[in-house]
Amino acid sequence: MVFLDTLKQPGFLVLDGALGTELTRRGFRLELPLWTADAVRHNPKSIVSIYSDYLQAGADILTSATFRTDSLTFAKAGLNIKQAEEATHRAVELVREAIAQMRPTRQVWIAGSIAPLADCYQPKEAPDFATALRIHRQRAAWLADSGVDLFLLETMNNLAEARAASLAALETGLPVFTSFILDENGQLLSGEDILQVITEIKMLGVTGLGINCTHHSIISAFLKKYHGQSELPWIFYANAGFYSTTTGWRDDAEFTPQSYVKVAVKWLNAGAKIIGGCCGTTPDFIEALAGIRKSPV
């Protein structure tokens, strides 16, 4: 069965949880600007271990550690394009290693992660459209060659780069989900209106749309306001904390796996197709989300 056929089936799919913050929580130091790509190069076993835990928890989709394996970021780290390509392929191999070790009886899909080329929280630092399209085309081609099942364009913070990344991924012929990060007012970090943005991205022919790296309350407010604005499947994966453009990050002590389930059930009833976790979430969150299948939604 191909991934698009799975989307048409009843029920929902469980995405994995955080990788970067989970590596940090387990004591691994991630160096910037490579972030999780640093672990791909120097601590691959740690990534396989985390994937294994997410598989054990019930994840249907594992996201490749390619958030920062683009040639632009590697150049900033003093590395070359060949090394960026090798890291991209290696990242996908690590997902397969975890699947081979765990031997899940269910189908598990590999999502190729593509992120903004600059700091996710700083849309003003984004490259121009032509540069973004060129770099995203490189990584999309590498991921397609690696055999990913779909693309997950994560944490998109402005329309221009979201368009560039979406176009690049669509050129491969694989399913594409474009997911955005919202500010505390429910708009893109660039200040652009999210409804206008999703309307334009939908017209490109993407498979689905989403919101991630955002507190669950903001996602819920978005879903309440814009419910029915798109017939495409939605993917939502929330942070285990708040991020403000003025105050930065703070943990949400009240956000637990159990409380996330209550929120997720509402999202599913509103039509969400894929739900997972972003920054600060752990395998416990994914296990709780997968447990929803055992009870009526």
Looking at residue 294, its pLDDT comes to: 79
pLDDT digits over 199-231, tens only?
Answer: 999 999 999 999 999 999 999 999 998 876 678
**Percent residues over pLDDT 90 in the chain:** 91
Q: How far is residue 39's CA from residue 23's CA, in Å, rounded to a whole number? A: 8
| CA 155 – CA 78 distance, rounded (Å) | 25
Distance linking the first and last C-alpha atoms of the chain: 25
Sign of dihedral through CA atoms 93, 169, 210, 4?
A: negative
Q: Sorting pLDDT into bands at 50, 70 and 90, what band is 247?
A: confident
Secondary element (H or E) of residue 226 = helix 216-226
Rounded average pLDDT over 243-258: 85
How does residue 1 score in pLDDT terms, banded at 50, 70 and 90? low
Do 86 and 43 touch, CB atoms closer than 8 A?
no
* 43-210-59 Cα angle (round to 5): 45
The rounded mean pLDDT for the chain is 95
pLDDT category of residue 194 using cuts at 50, 70 and 90: very high
Peptide bond into 116 cis (omega under 30): no
What pLDDT is attached to residue 122? 94
> In the chain, what are the domains?
11-294 (3.20.20.330)
- Residue 152: what are its φ and ψ, rounded to 5°? -120, 105
Decide if pLDDT at 81 tops 90. yes
Judge whether 137 and 161 are in contact, CB under 8 Å. Answer: no
Tokens 């994914």, residue located? 286
In the numeric block, which tokens belong to residue 256?
A: 């637990």
- Rounded average pLDDT over 52-76: 98
Label residue 251 by pLDDT band (50, 70, 90). confident
Judge contact between 186 and 204, C-beta under 8 A.
no
Residue in 157, 192, 156, 152 with CA at minimum distance from that of residue 174: 152
- Provide the pLDDT for residue 249: 77
